[in-house]
Amino acid sequence: MRNAVVEVLDVTKTYPGGGARALDGVSVAFAAGTFCAVMGPSGSGKSTLLHCAAGLDRPDTGRVVLAGEEIGTLREPRLTQVRRRRVGFVFQSYHLMDSLSVWHNVLLPQRLAGVRPDRGWAKDVIRRVGLAGREDDRPARLSGGQRQRVALARALAGRPEVIFADEPTGALDLATGREVLQLLREAVDGLGATIVMVTHDPAAAAWADRVVFLADGRVAGELAAPTADLVAARMTAVSAR
Amino acid sequence: MIRLAIGTLRRHRGAYAGTFLAALLAVALLSGGGLLLASVLTATPPADRFAAAAVVVSGERAVTVETVTHKKKKDKDKVKRKVKTERLTGAGTLPTGLAARLADLPGVAAAVPDLAFPVEVTAKGRALRGADGAPVVGHGWASAGLTPYTLRNGNPPGRGEAVLDADLAARAGLTTGAEITVTSRTGVRALRISGIAAPAGRDGLPAQGALFVADTEAAALSGLDGPTAIGILAAPGAGDLRAAVEAAIAGQAPAGQAPAGQAPAGQANAGQANAGQATAGGSTVVREVTVLTGDDRVRADLPGALPDYIAPISIFGFLIGITAFAAVFVLTGTVTLGVRQRLRELALLRTAGATPGQLRRLLSLESLLLAGCAAIPGAPLGIVAAETVAARFRRLGAVPPQFTVQINPLVLIAAAAAGLLVTAVAARIAGRRAARIAPTQALTETAVTPAGGQFTRVLSAAVAAGGAVAVLTFVPLGGPFGMGMSFVSSALLLCAVAALGPIAVRPLTAVVSRLLGAGPVGRLAGQVTRAEPRRVAAVAVPLVLMFAINATMLLNSRMLTGIAAGEQAARTAPATAQVTAPQGLALSTAETVMAVDGITGAAATIPTRIVVVAGGKPEDHAAQGLLITGTQPALDLGFTAGGLPDGGFAASRYLAGLYDWTVGQDIELRLADGHRVQLRLTGVYDRSRGFGDAVLPAALIAAHDPRGLVRGISVRYDPGTAERIRAAGPGVIVTPSSATEAAGDAQEQQGAWELMVAVTLGFTAIAILNTFAIATTGRRREFAGLRLAGATTGQLHRLAAREALIVVTAGLALGALITGIVVGTFSVAQDGVFRVIVDPATYATMAAGVAALGLLAGVLPARVLLRRQALPALTDDQ
């Protein structure tokens, strides 16, 4: 894949004491400007893949190339520096700073990176996720869906090469989850963002351009132009194996 | 419920370690302080000099005042008796004829008049003292039979001879025939050792050395006009003699009231059993001749010959007061912080169907389990602490060398129970609001403490601050309770700050964080600290505690020492030199010295104590016997009214104020041996620190204080007189006034204070580390979030350091405020001068120490947390 933003090549990862390999020779690439979902049953290694691909964890063997830079062998704090410049995150549990307002949460990664924050863009992004006027509120006063929107705004505000989303709708109700997925979709279509999303929900995966299936630490096929039904059928097959 | 409690305890091992540690230390401190106090309270004299006597009749050893109030209530006469006692520092005497009368009682083999009087013995040019610097007490040879001391060699003392106990003799390498010099209040004598005696099975008695002289010479040497006690030896086969002795004493005494205001000579009065009573303002001073048996017999001994446990009681009482306050304060804070950190979990339990009551019970149970476990190692640690402190105090001389820590299981149990109680109550209070979280709120507001309680906070702070203001305003801080009360007021102010907590901290952090909030990390630190006043308050309050308590004690004690030294210098300013002798000088010797040619003015002082009875309460005060000679003043007491006593007495401004005395008034005082005198107040003086609160005629004190030796003479002389002074008094030392040091007990006091400060410093330091650690473990998630947002570990370290800096600055500001209020008020109460810093070096060291500790405590746990968690925690199950 020529314009891959993230390339994972033959990555293995075993957690200490974990026994079986969480990742067992996984190779996968994520193209720029696309929305890709990673699916698999529990324990299939999908979160481990995301952590390795995002530079949150280091693979035992194999390579991870993020935006042209080999990050599999990078050490802290260099890894953090690459990550905060190139990567945005959206987590199931938001990981927002309770002590900071929405506005400061959104600007936090850039501040930490020592970059002069692009305030205009940040305002724009907050408006796009539908939180205009809530900039001075604390996350604690927001609903779950609103918090996830803050997280997304924060990920977008830094104009990262790729946004990793780990079960972004996991803690949300159906309607709110759909709104968040809609926003992710719009970020890819309207803003040209690249999103890699780990999920176990076929309905959520259906919002992606492409779905990669994992089972027992290996890639178990993929699906382009997914629908919820197709994904569900494929998941059943993967889980049954 | 208990299984759930054990389960949560096990799961949150890290978070509970802090509470456990705080409870452990609190129990250790409480039990340590409790053991020390219980040990001094129950300390028994190490040996009984009257072991061989069946019954001992004792002269006056204390001033006892009985107040009887009648309350008429519905034709019923309610009588309330209140008895207050103040110990004498000397020993009252018994009538000379009493022993002979008691000897005639059936069953009495002998009634031995016992004289006990302190002596200073010099042998081979060196002062002779017993084990651990124990004093040497002189007796007539007849007293030897009361212990009994038996001769090991030589003969009983004859004229000009003495018998020493074997321990003393061995210390100075003295044998029969050797010469010793004995100084007592009646003068200096050279005696020849005629023999060496010892009690059965040992060389001497602990805590007192014994010197026996011929019975015919004892009265002359001691200056006593009657025996201080009578030891009654039972004849073989005699029954209980106590009743017979009591009856004999009561029978010979005329019952009834002694006319008030008429002060008969002490000795004439002393023989009356429960009879001679003098009315003093509605209260009655009971003068007792006490009949003692069994373990009580020892109370008839000379007060100075028994280890003094009165001063240690107040020291240890204070120590336990301070440590208990600090322990309870810290424990409460730690438990509260621990509970607050678990709000999330508590809220989840609410959603799982736990009722608020169940949550409260869970919290109480958990805390009881924790404190219970903590008490098990805490109590033995308290024993170690008590032993360590006792050893240090022994070396300082703040407790008698014979003092040992008695391990009292009851004290340990009480300390453990107190620890449990405090923990449970604190958990209950902290959990009260947490338990009220509505289950619906639980999911959305888990991380946020329910707000509110502002009113309660402000109200309790106002009460505490009001108390502090009341103490500072109404208690005379210049008096003996000044130090204690200044501690109480700073403790109350601390409570006020702790109660206000976030309210007090918020405006401070708002300012401080902006001052220190440069750079991206600094800015973040500022935002975080401003956003979390509760957490900042939780960690800042122990810092405030550490600074305020310790700085107040240290600075006040420094201030007192400084003022005392200043007053000492001012007192002796007119003098050219101070004449002292290591043994002290008999008044007659002092008079010889003072009469040396060339001395133009001299003032000799004899330290003593007097007892004043007022309002039904006897109270003892330091005083001096003063002899002034010459035409020029050698001592400047700084009189504010009247002048030096000439047959009367002068009182310090403090004492005159305390009892509302005015110059010209006739005042009744009791001297060291209980002797009652009526003296006219001739003047009120200012410079009393390190000196005494009353000045009486030297001859009177020399006659009624068993030691009665001149400690120093301030002299003013023409050049060249120093040599003649040295020649006049053997062994005297002439020191120029400029080179004199502060009094010994002032330094001893200072040492005790500094040790106390060391104990509380250690404890509060651990408390600070502990609180910071707990607070940091609660931020695991927050740190993880920051790491995910792109913070490097280095940035997080810097963030922790910057936050610690803000917290430390806020804490120090509050601490300095409390210290300033208390020390400033204390200072004004002492001498009208307003001081806050007192001693810049001490102040700076304290502040820097607290700041360094706070920074360390802020940085270290974050480092440990981040190392253990090299990668951000991504798990959501926290």
Cα–Cα distance measured from residue B434 to residue B346, given in angstroms and rounded to the nearest whole number: 7
CB burial of residue B553 (10 Å; 0-12, 13-18, 19+) = buried
List of chain A residues whose C-beta atoms are within 8 Å of the C-beta of residue B794: 77
The alpha-carbon gap from A131 to the nearest alpha carbon of chain B, in Å, equals: 18
Cα–Cα distance measured from residue B68 to residue B66, given in angstroms and rounded to the nearest whole number: 6
A182 close to B (CB below 8 A)? no
B450 close to A (CB below 8 A)? no
pLDDT computed for residue B624 by the predictor: 93
pLDDT computed for residue B876 by the predictor: 40
Angle between helices A174-191 and A144-157 (to 10 degrees): 20
Chain A, nearest residue to B450 by Cα: A140
Apex CA B649: angle with CA B648 and CA B651, to 5°?
Answer: 155
pLDDT computed for residue B299 by the predictor: 85
B520 and A111: CB-CB below 8 Å? yes
Residue B700 and residue B671 in contact, taking contact as beta carbons nearer than 8 Å:
yes
Q: Sheet containing A35-39: which strands, arranged edge to edge?
A: A87-91, A162-166, A195-198, A35-39, A210-215, A218-224
Q: Which of B341, B792, B878 to mutate to test the interface with A (most CBs of A within 10 A)?
A: B792
A99 and B528: CB-CB below 8 Å? yes
pLDDT computed for residue B267 by the predictor: 36
Q: Which of A80, A82, A85, A89 to mutate to test the interface with B (most CBs of B within 10 A)?
A: A80
B289 close to A (CB below 8 A)? no
Among residues B271, B225, B223, B233, the alpha carbon closest in space to that of B251 is found at B271
Query: Phi and psi for B274 in degrees, rounded to 5?
Result: 50, 25
pLDDT, mean of residues A169-196: 91
The alpha-carbon gap from A40 to the nearest alpha carbon of chain B, in Å, equals: 18
| Residue where the block lists tokens 């650690």 | B773
The helix/strand/coil state of B78 is strand
A99 and B532: CB-CB below 8 Å? yes
Please list, in sequence order, all residues whose beta carbon lies within 8 angstroms of the beta carbon of residue A170, skipping any fewer than 6 positions away.
Answer: A92, A199
A46 close to B (CB below 8 A)? no
The alpha-carbon gap from A114 to the nearest alpha carbon of chain B, in Å, equals: 7
Cα–Cα distance measured from residue B54 to residue B515, given in angstroms and rounded to the nearest whole number: 79
Please list, in sequence order, all residues whose beta carbon lies within 8 angstroms of the beta carbon of residue B845, skipping any fewer than 6 positions away.
Answer: none
The alpha-carbon gap from B425 to the nearest alpha carbon of chain A, in Å, equals: 30
CB burial of residue B752 (10 Å; 0-12, 13-18, 19+) = buried
pLDDT computed for residue B111 by the predictor: 92
pLDDT computed for residue B256 by the predictor: 36
**pLDDT for A63 beyond 80:** yes
The alpha-carbon gap from B744 to the nearest alpha carbon of chain A, in Å, equals: 57
The alpha-carbon gap from B511 to the nearest alpha carbon of chain A, in Å, equals: 18
Q: Could you check whether the bond before residue B148 is cis, i.e. omega within 30 degrees of 0?
A: yes
Cα–Cα distance measured from residue B307 to residue B282, given in angstroms and rounded to the nearest whole number: 34
pLDDT digits 0-9 by tens, B822-868: 999 999 988 888 998 888 998 999 999 999 999 999 999 888 888 76
Amino acid identity of B94?
L
Cα–Cα distance measured from residue A98 to residue B785, given in angstroms and rounded to the nearest whole number: 10
B447 and A91: CB-CB below 8 Å? no
A159 close to B (CB below 8 A)? no
**Least CB-CB distance to B790: which of A83, A104, A140?**
A83
pLDDT computed for residue B878 by the predictor: 33
DSSP assigned state of B666: E
How many CB pairs below 8 A link A and B?
85
Question: In whole angstroms, how far apart are CA B800 and each of B464, B537, B685, B754?
Answer: 33, 16, 57, 33
List of chain A residues whose C-beta atoms are within 8 Å of the C-beta of residue B792: 76-77, 80-81, 112
| Residue where the block lists tokens 């360390």 | B856
pLDDT digits 0-9 by tens, B282-312: 566 666 688 888 888 888 888 877 777 777 8
**What is the bridge-based pairing of β-strands A162-166 and A195-198?**
parallel
Concatenated DSSP letters for B669-684?
EE-TTS-EEEEEEEEE
List of chain B residues whose C-beta atoms are within 8 Å of the C-beta of residue A176: none
pLDDT, mean of residues B755-778: 85
Read off the pLDDT band of A186 (50, 70, 90).
very high
B871 close to A (CB below 8 A)? yes
List of chain A residues whose C-beta atoms are within 8 Å of the C-beta of residue B782: 97-99
Partnered with residue B609 across adjacent β-strands are B622
Among residues B261, B245, B263, the alpha carbon closest in space to that of B253 is found at B245
List of chain B residues whose C-beta atoms are within 8 Å of the C-beta of residue A56: 788, 871-872, 874
3-state secondary structure chain A: CCCEEEEEEEEEECCCCCCCCCEEEEEEEEECCCEEEEECCCCCCHHHHHHHHHCCCCCCEEEEEECCEECCCCCCCHHHHHHHHHEEEEECCCCCCCCCCHHHHHHHHHHHCCCCCCHHHHHHHHHHCCCCCCCCCCHHHCCHHHHHHHHHHHHHHCCCCEEEEECCCCCCCHHHHHHHHHHHHHHHHHHCCCEEEECCCHHHHCCCCEEEEEECCEEEEEEECCCHHHHHHHHHHHHHC
Listed by number, the residues of chain A in 70-89 with a beta carbon closer than 8 Å to a beta carbon of chain B are 76-77, 80-81, 83-84, 89
Cα–Cα distance measured from residue A54 to residue B362, given in angstroms and rounded to the nearest whole number: 42
B440 close to A (CB below 8 A)? no
pLDDT digits 0-9 by tens, B210-263: 999 999 999 899 988 889 999 999 888 877 888 888 888 877 543 333 333 333
**Least CB-CB distance to A98: which of B447, B520, B793?**
B447
The alpha-carbon gap from B12 to the nearest alpha carbon of chain A, in Å, equals: 21
Residue B350 and residue B437 in contact, taking contact as beta carbons nearer than 8 Å:
yes
**pLDDT for B871 beyond 60:** no
Concatenated DSSP letters for B264-297?
--HHHHHT-SS--EEEETTEEEE---EEEEGGGG
Residue B615 tokens read as 């309002």
pLDDT, mean of residues B813-827: 94
List of chain B residues whose C-beta atoms are within 8 Å of the C-beta of residue A104: 527
pLDDT computed for residue B361 by the predictor: 83
Chain A, nearest residue to B796 by Cα: A112
Chain B, nearest residue to A82 by Cα: B790
Lowest-confidence pick of A91-105, B334-348, B581-595, B809-823: B334-348
A111 and B524: CB-CB below 8 Å? yes
Cα–Cα distance measured from residue B275 to residue B255, given in angstroms and rounded to the nearest whole number: 5
**pLDDT for B160 beyond 80:** yes
pLDDT computed for residue B832 by the predictor: 84
**Least CB-CB distance to A95: which of B524, B785, B793?**
B785
**Least CB-CB distance to B789: which of A77, A92, A109?**
A109
Residue B336 and residue B425 in contact, taking contact as beta carbons nearer than 8 Å:
no
B875 close to A (CB below 8 A)? no
B447 and A93: CB-CB below 8 Å? no
Residue A168 and residue A90 in contact, taking contact as beta carbons nearer than 8 Å:
yes
**pLDDT for B61 beyond 60:** yes
A112 and B787: CB-CB below 8 Å? no
List of chain A residues whose C-beta atoms are within 8 Å of the C-beta of residue B447: 98, 140
**Least CB-CB distance to B792: which of A77, A95, A158?**
A77
A154 close to B (CB below 8 A)? yes
Cα–Cα distance measured from residue B81 to residue A134, given in angstroms and rounded to the nearest whole number: 74
pLDDT computed for residue B573 by the predictor: 86
Residue B431 and residue B360 in contact, taking contact as beta carbons nearer than 8 Å:
yes
DSSP assigned state of B299: G
Residue B548 and residue B494 in contact, taking contact as beta carbons nearer than 8 Å:
yes
Q: Which of A90, A108, A137 to mutate to test the interface with B (most CBs of B within 10 A)?
A: A108
Q: Which of A46, A56, A94, A99 to mutate to test the interface with B (most CBs of B within 10 A)?
A: A99
Residue B814 tokens read as 């509050």
Chain A, nearest residue to B535 by Cα: A99
Cα–Cα distance measured from residue B366 to residue B559, given in angstroms and rounded to the nearest whole number: 46
Query: Phi and psi for B627 in degrees, rounded to 5?
Result: -120, 125
**pLDDT for B877 beyond 70:** no
A104 and B792: CB-CB below 8 Å? no
Concatenated DSSP letters for B176-236?
TT-EEEEEETTEEEEEEEEEEEEETTSSSBTTBEEEEE-HHHHHHHH--SS-SEEEEEEPT
B520 and A81: CB-CB below 8 Å? no
Looking at per-residue pLDDT, the higher value among A89 and B396 belongs to A89
Q: Which of B529, B781, B788 to mutate to test the interface with A (most CBs of A within 10 A)?
A: B788
Chain A, nearest residue to B528 by Cα: A99
The distance between the two most distant Cα atoms of chain B, rounded to a whole number of Å, is 101
Residue B700 and residue B673 in contact, taking contact as beta carbons nearer than 8 Å:
no
Domains and CATH numbers, chain A: 4-240 (3.40.50.300)
DSSP assigned state of B155: -
Residue A73 tokens read as 């062998």
Apex CA B692: angle with CA B688 and CA B697, to 5°?
Answer: 115
Q: What is the dihedral of CA B454, B457, B460, B461, to 10 degrees?
A: -110
Question: In whole angstroms, how far apart are CA B285 and each of B82, B299, B311?
Answer: 12, 20, 24
Expressed in percent and rounded to 5, the helix, strand and coil fractions of chain B are 50, 20, 25
A109 close to B (CB below 8 A)? yes
Chain B, nearest residue to A140 by Cα: B445
**pLDDT for B276 beyond 50:** no
B786 and A84: CB-CB below 8 Å? no
pLDDT, mean of residues B727-744: 71
pLDDT, mean of residues B388-399: 84
Residue B385 tokens read as 């602490």
Question: Which ipTM value was assigned to this complex?
Answer: 0.84
A113 and B795: CB-CB below 8 Å? no
Cα–Cα distance measured from residue B581 to residue B188, given in angstroms and rounded to the nearest whole number: 12
**Count of residues for chain B?**
878
pLDDT computed for residue B132 by the predictor: 78
